[in-house]
Amino acid sequence: MKYLVIGAGPAGVVAAETLRKLDPAGSITILGDEPEPPYSRMAIPYLLIDNIDEQGTYLRKDDGYFASKNIDVVVGRAESLDPASKSVTTSNGETLTWDKVLVATGSRPILPPVDGIDNEKVTTCWTLEDARRIAAGITPGAPVVLIGAGFIGCIILEALVSAGANLTVIEMGDRMVPRMLDDRCGSLLEKWCEAKGVNVLTSTTVKAIEPDGDAVKVITSDGQSVTANLVISAAGVKPNAEFLEGSGVTLMDGGIEVNQYMQSSVPDIYAAGDVAWSKDFSTGEFGIQAIQPTAVDHARIAANNMVTPRSVEHQGSVNMNVLDTMGLISASYGLWQGVDGGESTELLDEENYRYIRLQFDGDQLVGANTLGMTQHIGVLRGLIQGRFHLGEWKDRLVSNPLQVMEAYLAVTQGA
Amino acid sequence: MLRSLSIDPDKCTGCLQCEMACSLENEGIFNPARSRIKVFTFHEEGRFVPYTCTQCDEAWCMHACPVDAIKMNFQTGALEVNEKTCVGCKVCTIACPFGTINYNRVSGKVIKCDLCGGDPECAKACPTQAITYVDSDATGLEKMRAWAGKTDNAQHAAG
Ligand SMILES: Cc1cc2nc3c(=O)[nH]c(=O)nc-3n(C[C@H](O)[C@H](O)[C@H](O)COP(=O)(O)OP(=O)(O)OC[C@H]3O[C@@H](n4cnc5c(N)ncnc54)[C@H](O)[C@@H]3O)c2cc1C
Ligand code: SF4
Ligand code: SF4
């Protein structure tokens, strides 16, 4: 069997490894369009603060690792895919054929439609190449503007500040990370950032970016002008699936629609990771979560079904995020906004920036937001994904939401 | 034959010797807050439940790690965190459905049970044999692992 994996991120690499495990004799090729060995975007913030070097971002560290698994890694960009001849044409003019193909091409950042956004002082923070540019552009005390305080924006925020940037963050929403944190969490996070010297402008958009000598001026919707040596845009992403146009593969909002086997609308074409329009565990609805753990879940399931059709079903991935913003750790799980007719409970210690809010549907936990908590956080996933009935422990959690670990032990072990 | 920690909460008296031994072995200090095994107290029921990583087959933590910092020690079967490689991103801490891999603010890395390289101090310290280090197919472990199945994202077809 001949497998082609397009995309050399975490989804592509984990899929290739799983394919190898399940089919020792198959031919496996990973095609990726970045020049570096397969690496993890998630590690970029740690590269920016010199916590690791570039090698530290590589998904697999041992020299010759892929060769030792008999996995070919080819650099090139897939430009079109033809299901009839089961082939992919690359930017190098090569044609690669396959019996089964996995599309794991991830997504890429989009720039907001703003006058002057094409200024060379504006960059995204997505690839190792971007990271090198940012590292070179930040000198201690340099004024930097970050457009977007979503999940990715907030993740790089810490690295930018640690690298010495004098940072202004501009966010369109009314609070930071509006799609991951509730009002209370988001506002506390903003307060925390302000206290650490970051200038946070919420409910604000960028109107224009104007050249200003060696720097630029970022003009905001409320008429402010912020000078910056570097502007980093983290204002949304788009799936890398355009090369499938005309192939017959169904796209949803730009992502590849997949069924429970991670299979696209065309047999023998599968998709995984940030490019896949797939099922959310909590809502049962389809969409793109764009997080690392989901990419890896997808990859393992897709690879299983590529080797043995319809062998493993995807039940939906739990949406979960963890964020460290200059020492303040926040996390979100599942339906953190709550459900109609559900109940919620919260505990707030504003002075110490500690907060937990649990969301219930009946006596099941369906979502959570936390701030300032680091111990036993994962058990929230266990409770949500196990769909455990909490029984009397629900009332106990309502009166003390910090007892999640005890609740878990009680309902799973009869403790 | 691989060995595993087996925990029998009925025998636990809540003396916290295991937490002390763990923190001394791994952190060089007596500080239960830094222990990788944790005894949970159920005041109403008057029960104590020691709990730590089961080195589960699914290894959620290992698969979630973006930089390959968690690896299986084939001698002991333990999943071990390589401190040098770990960047402290905490993704493993939200991915482990048992809450048994945790962020340590002091080191900026995560910590989890590594079976002390095959000679777990908690089991040696426990005066009542509530924690024992036994062959992996012994009872108790299977029960703990059975929970993992309930948290699977994937449904394996029968047969
Ligand atoms: C700075 C940053 C921080 C992040 N932090 C976190 C975090 O803390 N937690 C979290 O859960 N997630 C985080 N993420 C998101 C996480 O990185 C992604 O969810 C994950 O990388 C998705 O994996 P993937 O394999 O689907 O896609 P990607 O990692 O994007 O990999 C896609 C691969 O496909 C290649 N490719 C694209 N198009 C083509 C083509 N036409 N032909 C050939 N190759 C192609 C790309 O070059 C790349 O190698 C972060 C992302 C960024 C940018
Ligand atoms: S830390 Fe959690 S996910 Fe990792 S091996 Fe232990 S129980 Fe499994
Ligand atoms: S915190 Fe460390 S071990 Fe855990 S996922 Fe991140 S890099 Fe890997």
Q: Which residues of A touch B60 (CB under 8 A)?
A: 293, 378
Average pLDDT over residues A21-37: 97
- The pair of three-digit structure tokens given for residue A116, joined into one six-digit string: 């002057």
Residue showing tokens 């036994």: B134
| Nearest protein CA to atom 27 of ligand 1, as residue | A106
Q: Are strands A269-271 and A100-103 parallel, antiparallel or unpaired?
A: parallel
| Whole-number pLDDT of residue B120 | 96
State residue B153's pLDDT score.
57
Asked if residue A103 and residue A11 are part of one domain, the reply reads: yes
- pLDDT at residue B27, rounded to an integer: 87
Residue A6 lies in a domain: yes
Long-range contacts of A56-63 (CB under 8 A, 24+ apart): A56/B67, A56/B85, A56/B87, A57/A128, A57/B67, A58/B67, A58/B68, A59/A9, A59/A10, A59/A13, A59/B66, A59/B67, A59/B68, A60/A13, A60/B68, A61/B68, A61/B85
Contact of B101 with chain A, judged by CB distance below 8 Å, is answered with yes
One domain for residues A137 and A220 = yes
DSSP B126: -
Q: At A348, phi and psi to the nearest 5?
A: -130, 130
Q: Given A167, A198, A233, which residue is the final one in a domain?
A: A233
- Residue-wise pLDDT for A364-387, tens only, equals 999 999 999 999 999 999 999 999
Q: How many C-alpha atoms does B139 have within 13 Å on its Cβ side?
A: 1
Residues A191 and A332 in one domain: no
Alpha-carbon span B149 to B57, nearest angstrom = 10
Residue A314 inside a domain? The answer is no
Nearest to residue B53, comparing CAs of B101, B102, B116, B3?
B101
Same domain, A223 and A256: no
Q: What pLDDT score does B142 carry?
A: 58
Measured distance CA(B52)–CA(B7) in Å, rounded: 9
* Model pLDDT, residue A375: 93
Give the model confidence (pLDDT) of A303-356 as tens digits.
Answer: 999 999 999 999 999 999 999 999 999 999 999 999 999 999 999 999 999 999
In testing the pocket of ligand 2, which one of B38, B90, B100, B145 has its CB within 8 Å of the most ligand atoms? Answer: B100
Asked if the structure places residue A117 within a domain, the reply is no
B3-158 has CATH 3.30.70.20 classification:
yes
Please give the distance, rounded to the nearest whole angstrom, from the Cα atom of residue A13 to the centre of ligand 3: 17
Domain residue spans of chain B:
3-158
Question: Which residue has the CA at smallest separation from atom 5 of ligand 2?
Answer: B55
Identify whether the C-beta of residue A263 lies closer than 8 Å to the C-beta of residue A96. Answer: no
* A129 and A229 share one domain: yes
Dump pLDDT digits (tens) for A271-313.
Answer: 999 999 999 999 999 999 999 999 999 999 999 999 999 999 9
Q: Encoding tokens for residue A410?
A: 């009680």
Task: Kindly state whether residue A312 falls inside one of the protein's structural domains.
Answer: no
* Residues A225 and A249 placed together within one structural domain of the fold: no
**Boundary residue ending a domain (A233, A267, A298):** A233
Cα–Cα–Cα angle for A222, A228, A232, nearest 5°?
90
Closest CA to A329 of A379, A375, A372, A388: A372
Is the shortest distance between the CB of A31 and ligand 1 below 6 Å? Answer: yes
A101 belongs to a structural domain: yes
* pLDDT attached to residue B145: 54
B72 contact A CB<8A: no
Q: Which residues of chain A have a CB within 8 Å of the CB of B153? A: 281, 297, 301, 314-318, 385
pLDDT per residue over A157-207, tens digit each? 989 999 999 999 999 999 899 888 888 888 899 999 999 999 999 999 999
Which of A184, A212, A233 delimits the end of a domain? A233
Amino acid identity of A342?
G
Q: Do B94 and A304 touch (CB under 8 A)?
A: no
Ligand 1 centroid to Cα of residue A42, in Å, is 8
- Distance separating the N- and C-terminal Cα atoms of chain B: 27
Q: How far apart are CA B26 and CA B113, in angstroms?
A: 9
Per-residue pLDDT of chain B (159 residues; tens, 9 = 90+): 789 999 999 999 999 999 999 999 988 888 888 899 999 999 888 899 999 999 998 899 999 999 999 999 999 999 999 999 999 999 999 999 999 999 999 999 999 999 999 999 999 999 999 999 998 775 455 555 554 444 455 655 543
Average pLDDT, chain A: 95
Closest Cα to atom 6 of ligand 2: B53
Residue A178 is predicted with a pLDDT of 87
Q: Give CA separation, B147 vs A313, A413, B58, in Å.
A: 19, 9, 11
Query: Residue B154's pLDDT is what?
Result: 60
Q: What is the pLDDT of residue B141?
A: 53
A357 in a structural domain = yes
Q: Do A313 and B88 touch (CB under 8 A)?
A: no
Identify the helix (H) or strand (E) that includes residue A389.
none
For residue A135, tell me if it sits in a domain. yes
Q: Is the residue at A291 inside a domain?
A: yes
End-to-end CA distance of chain A: 49
Beta bridge partners of B133: B5
CATH code where residue A363 lies: 3.30.390.30
Is A28 found in the same domain as A10?
yes
Domain CATH number, residue A288: 3.50.50.60
Please check whether residues A23 and A101 belong to one and the same domain: yes
Tell me the C-alpha distance between B51 and B32, whole Å: 13
Cα B73 to ligand 1 centre (Å): 29
Q: How far apart are CA A356 and CA A358, in angstroms?
A: 7
Query: B11 to each of A108, A225, B50, how far by Cα in Å?
Result: 55, 67, 10
Asked if B64 reaches chain A (Cβ–Cβ under 8 Å), the answer is: yes
* Three-class DSSP category at A274: helix
Residue A372 lies in domain: 327-413
Predicted confidence at residue B148, as pLDDT, reads 47
pLDDT greater than 60 at residue A396: yes
Is A87 found in the same domain as A60? Answer: yes
What does the alpha-carbon distance between residue A133 and residue A127 come to, in Å, rounded to a whole number?
10
Q: Are A271 and A256 in contact (CB under 8 A)?
A: yes
ipTM above 0.90, yes or no: yes
Residue pLDDT, tens place only, A243-263: 999 999 999 999 999 999 999
Residue whose structure tokens are 């031919």: A27
Q: Which of A158, A370, A379 to mutate to test the interface with B (most CBs of B within 10 A)?
A: A379
